[in-house]
Amino acid sequence: MFGIVGPKSHNPACSGLHNPCRDMGNRMEESCLRNRIRYRVLLVVGVAATLGQIATAAFYSLYQERTVLAQNELAMRKLTFGVAQGLQSVMLAGSADIAQVYADRLKLVPEVLEFRIMRRDGTEAFRDNKTILEVNQRRGDDIFITREKEDSIKVMDPIDADFQKVLSQKAPVSIYATDDKGNRMLTFLAPILNVDVCYKCHGRAEPIRGVMRLTTSLTAVERDILKARQQSLLVLVLSLAGTLLLTGYMFGRTVVRPIEKVTRAMTRISNGDLDHRVVITTHDEIGRMAMNFNRMTEELTQTYQGLRLEQDKLTTVIESASEGMVVTDAEGVVVMANTAATRLLGKSLSKIVADGFSNLVDNPELINDCIDSGNSISVEYRDRVLRIHASITRGADDQVTGSLAMIRDITAEHRLENDLRHLATVDGLTGLFNRRFLDATLDTEFHRAARSHDAISIIMFDVDHFKKFNDTYGHDQGDRVLQMVARCLRESLRSFDFPCRYGGEEFVAIMPGLKSLAAQEIAERLRKTVETTAVDGIHVRISLGVATFPELPVDHGASLIEAADAALYEAKEGGRNRVVVARAAS
């Protein structure tokens, strides 16, 4: 598994001592338990009703109306709370498309006239790519896929008093109104709080992420209220106590307990147990709600498993790569480094993270120059030669999303390149530069000297009577003599001069910036050194010719070689074992 810094999956399961998902689930169960107090209230109303039919009937009717309205409002609170919890579970799994389907299906619930999830600006969420782009930018990766079709739906004016009240007080607001046909409606505005688990995607700036708007018709509620008033006048005195007891008992068995089962199942699923399902025991609204919830959970599980499968595939691809990969987020923090990177850099994942992206090879300027230039660089690091390509990654909006470094080991290639370069420029017997290198270097140095009005000298020499020497002592002995002469030549020259083998027993030394007199002194010193150096007890002598530009009015390096060769010929004609300097008159 390649190293990743930070969360490694989108598992909606929450863990740790403080679990926000579990806390919300527990609060929901406690709310269900507190709702049982309504049985006590109904009993008190029944006892009080026995004191007087008229007063009790009026009081009970009024109380019944308020209770029905309160229960209706409480049911809406539960629904919005359950929706918020369900959306949170979906979003924690990284499935924004499921969240949209989840919200759309809630609009099909009976008695729901309108259901909307709004942003803080009053537009409907899950209809465009605004939030997806913000989250992808914040997370530093294209985690959520943008929608092909976008709609911008204005639901409420953001300066609406009730809308602002929800945002400022962070509490639900109930709005009772009447439509054009005289039907009463209840609109419930509930805030969607920005809790700890939401910070990773949405940040901490806003305490409220959005507002849910749920509108239901009160026609059925008012019908129930009217019916309750009529019945209470007829049977209140005789059947109030029994009716309350029976209603409480049946309501607990048929409504409260199923709701508690659904709530407990939702709590377990929100805590990460995606294999858990709600047991369906009825075919009413609660049963259908449980069935829909199970279906959405299965879809969520399939999506999560698909994400894990794709992550495993990506892990296999990255880990099987021979190239090292190091990735940062938009802030420059290293968030991923594969095994190849740790091996090539000789660092652990924690060390790579601690050193930072710029210090991958302990040279921040080198990495920064690589990023700025857009070119790959080669660097020797810890007994390896590494080829590094570093670049900045950007999102669809051209915003920086992070950095990427690709690292390749080119040690073998570098060694082969050096070997080839050595073979192409160095004579195999003497270790001096060869004829090809001599021609190219002399041409370059001559033109440089001509442009800068500087001097350049060459010494050309060979071993006296070398053919006779080979015939007498053999070619092996001759090779050892040539190696000795090459060694003396290297020791006589400066570190930046160029000792070359011209061919056979002939040698040439290129000496940039050296005038004729200094070149003659070096040639004489070389002659004496060779003369006094024995090879297997055998001494040899050399004849040397020196040529210098601009003392000689030549126009290219080849002419300088010809002048030195002519001086060498003159040295041989003059008795050998001597130095002759080429003159302009010659």
The contacts of residue 409 (CB under 8 Å, 6+ apart) are 322, 344, 384, 385, 386, 387
Q: What letter would DSSP give residue 433?
A: B
Residue 14's pLDDT is what?
A: 38
The pLDDT score that the predictor gives to residue 457 is: 95
Percentage of the chain modeled with pLDDT above 70 = 79
Name 5's Cβ contacts closer than 8 Å, sequence gap at least 6: 333, 334, 335, 336, 349, 353
In the structure, what pLDDT confidence band is assigned to residue 216 with cuts at 50, 70 and 90? confident
Longest dimension (CA), the chain: 154
Query: Is residue 53 scored above 70 in pLDDT?
Result: no
What average pLDDT score do residues 436-450 get?
Answer: 92
Contact 433, 498 (CB under 8 A): yes
- Mind listing the pLDDT tens digit for each residue in 108-148? 666 677 888 888 888 888 777 777 777 777 777 766 777 77
Q: State the pLDDT confidence band at 463, using cuts at 50, 70 and 90.
A: very high
* Nearest alpha carbon to residue 544 among 521, 516, 517, 572: 572
Q: Spell out the residues 6+ positions from residue 452 whose beta carbon is closer than 8 angstroms to its own.
A: none
The three-state secondary structure class of 340 is helix
Q: Which residue did the predictor score with more confidence, 453 or 313?
A: 453
Domains identified in the chain and CATH numbers: 3-307 (3.30.450.20), 321-415 (3.30.450.20), 426-581 (3.30.70.270)
Residue 418: Cβ within 10 Å count = 11
Tell me the average pLDDT across 48-59: 65
pLDDT of residue 16: 39
Say if residues 323 and 393 touch (Cβ distance below 8 Å). Answer: no
**pLDDT value at residue 15:** 38
- Within 8 A by CB and 6+ apart from 147, the residues are 128, 129, 132
Which amino acid would we find at residue 120?
R
367 against 199, higher pLDDT: 367
Give the pair of three-digit tokens for residue 221: 């509620």
3-state secondary structure of 111: coil
For the stretch 566-586, pLDDT in tens is 999 999 999 999 999 998 765
| Each residue's pLDDT tens digit, 506-536 | 999 999 999 999 999 999 999 999 999 999 8
Element (H, E) at 188: strand 184-193
CA–CA dist 50, 236 (Å, integer): 9
Instruction: Write down the residue that tokens 């190696």 correspond to.
Output: 483
Name the token pair of 308: 């894990």
What pLDDT, on a 0 to 100 scale, did the predictor assign at position 51?
65
User: Would you say 519 and 456 are in contact if contact means Cβ atoms under 8 Å apart?
Assistant: no
Q: Which residues contact 541 (CB under 8 A, 6 or more apart)?
A: 463, 464, 527, 530, 531, 576, 577
pLDDT of residue 285: 73
Of 21 and 534, which is predicted with more confidence? 534
For range 302-306, the mean pLDDT? 82
Over residues 268-288, mean pLDDT: 74
Ordered strands of the 208-217 beta sheet: 112-118, 208-217, 184-193, 173-178
Band (pLDDT 50/70/90 cuts) for residue 314 is confident
Strand 534-535 relative to strand 324-328, pairing: unpaired
pLDDT of 9 reads: 40
* Between 75 and 47, residue with greater pLDDT: 75
